[in-house]
Amino acid sequence: MTPHEEHVFYGTTTIGEKGQVVIPAEAREKMNLKKGEKLLVFSMGNGMIALSKLENLAKFEQHMAQRLDAIRKAVRSAK
């Protein structure tokens, strides 16, 4: 996926009576989302949410672990 393909608008959806949201078919196909797959739900602030495949948590964890020293330095300097 190119950087431009990562940020694509797939349309709109509606929250149903039970709080369920349907992810548009094109988005599910492009992101290889399958029925029953677990997704993480993140608040992005300002009424925005982000969904991520649960399997991506390990990738994110690895990414953050590799940058832990830089993150610690940034936190210390921000105090």
- pTM (two decimals): 0.62
Domain ranges of the chain: 3-78
Instruction: Answer yes or no: are the C-beta atoms of 49 and 39 closer than 8 Å.
Output: no
Token pair recorded at residue 37? 């797959």
| Between 63 and 37, residue with greater pLDDT | 37
CATH 1.10.287.1080 fits 3-78, yes or no: no
**Residue 2 confidence (pLDDT):** 53
pLDDT tens-digit readout, 18-35: 999 999 999 999 999 999
pLDDT (average), residues 46-73: 85
24 touches 10 (CB < 8 A): yes
Are the C-beta atoms of 44 and 32 separated by less than 8 Å? no
Angle CA(14)–CA(3)–CA(44) in degrees, nearest 5? 40
Angle between helices 68-78 and 56-66 (to 10 degrees): 70
Query: Which one-letter DSSP state was computed for residue 3?
Result: G
